[in-house]
Amino acid sequence: MATTLTLTDNSWRSKEFRTRTILEDESGRKVIKKVSITREAQKFLNNIVKRERANTEYLKEHFDVLCGNLKGNYIEYEYLPYQSLDQKIAFELRANRCDRADKLVDLYVQKISSLDKTYTCPTEFLKMISQDTFENYQFEADCLSQGLLDLTPRNILVDGSRWIVIDNEWSFDFPIPSVFIIFRAIREIVIEFQSEIRRCTERTRPSFGFIVRGLRTYYFPENWAKYITNNSVSIEQMFKWECGFRQYVAGSRGGSIGRIKTNPRTKTHFSAWYLRNDIAVIKGMSHFLKKHPITHMLVRFLKRILFP
């Protein structure tokens, strides 16, 4: 008898991009299935298989690519029991081996920087994220020749010296600025593992508060921030691109991804209060506020802005 576990459910996306990823286990044989959950998403699913083949050739000197087999309304993949790169980075941070975490981030950036690039105006990318027909863009940058927007650590499995790229949904056959790929990667790690980053922040390892979501500021380690600053593309611009891509994927359902702070703060230490788990903080606030009937609406409001 087969058992299934939903890994990701992308029902928040626009209809043409809605997929669900499940882990299926039948008598010890595990497979991953990416399923289209709307009729409109079938074309998107078909294109993923084509993109995987193209990415295999483009990435072959630096990454392996996990390719799937299209079977009707789903793609079937071999189950690989390896940690993702972002999990390995988080593991090193939790063990207070920040130098090892930094080396993994640095190796990732090196691999991205070693891919075939072209210096050009990424017109098709800019059209996609702005969703307009304006063609007179006055902007040029180093771009990956193959636009792999989701080539981030959460989509890279590590098997010794092999780095295996999975989940090629958001890859395109037009150039995309390479620094934006790196920005997306570091932003994802910073948001997902903010608690670990704060615990590792100290005088010799400061962090900068670039992004605000709800009431929380997200801090980037100085050693990582250097990869996305002092470039021809500002952090503010890349943040606008990320917002534009979210709208492309989800339309009005995309929601807010926060904002960039005008004057980022530098931290060399976080007090015990700021190191507490967000869920513990909001539970404590809720318990206190719910003692008073008129604060129920305030509690719900706080939950929405702290956990957008």
- Would you give the DSSP letter of residue 306? H
Structure tokens belonging to residue 53? 């083949």
pLDDT in tens, the chain (308 residues): 679 999 999 999 999 999 999 999 988 899 999 999 999 999 999 999 999 999 999 999 899 999 999 999 999 999 999 999 999 999 999 999 999 999 999 999 999 999 999 999 999 999 999 866 556 678 899 999 999 999 999 999 999 999 999 999 999 999 999 999 999 999 999 999 999 999 999 999 999 998 998 888 999 999 999 999 877 899 999 999 999 999 999 987 766 788 888 888 899 999 876 565 454 444 445 555 555 555 555 555 554 444 44
The answer to whether the CB of 37 falls within 8 A of the CB of 20 is yes
In degrees and rounded to multiples of 5, residue 30 shows phi and psi of -105, 135
Q: How remote is the C-alpha of 241 from its chain's centroid?
A: 13
Residue 201: partners with Cβ closer than 8 Å, 6 or more residues away: 207, 219, 221, 267, 268, 269, 270
Residues spanned by the domain of 301: 277-306
Can you spell out the DSSP letters for 252-296?
A: GGG----EEEEEEEEES---HHHHS-HHHHHHHHHHHHTTSGGGH
Note whether 8 and 98 are same-domain residues.
no
pLDDT score at 2: 76
Residues 126, 240: Cα–Cα separation, whole Å: 11
Domain count, the chain: 3
For residue 236, give both structure tokens: 């503010």
Q: Are residues 114 and 261 in the same domain?
A: yes
Residue 44, H or E segment? helix 42-59
The separation between CA 305 and the C-alpha centre of its own chain, rounded to angstroms, equals: 20
CA separation for the pair 114, 144 (Å, rounded):
10
User: In angstroms, what CA-CA distances link 95 with 12, 81, 91, 101?
Assistant: 35, 22, 6, 10
CA distance 210 to 281: 22
Does residue 187 share a domain with residue 167? yes
Closest CA to 275 of 198, 189, 197, 220: 198
Q: Pick from 78, 94, 120: which residue ends a domain?
A: 78
58/190 same-domain check = no
**Same-domain check for residues 45 and 154:** no
Domain match, 206 and 302 both: no
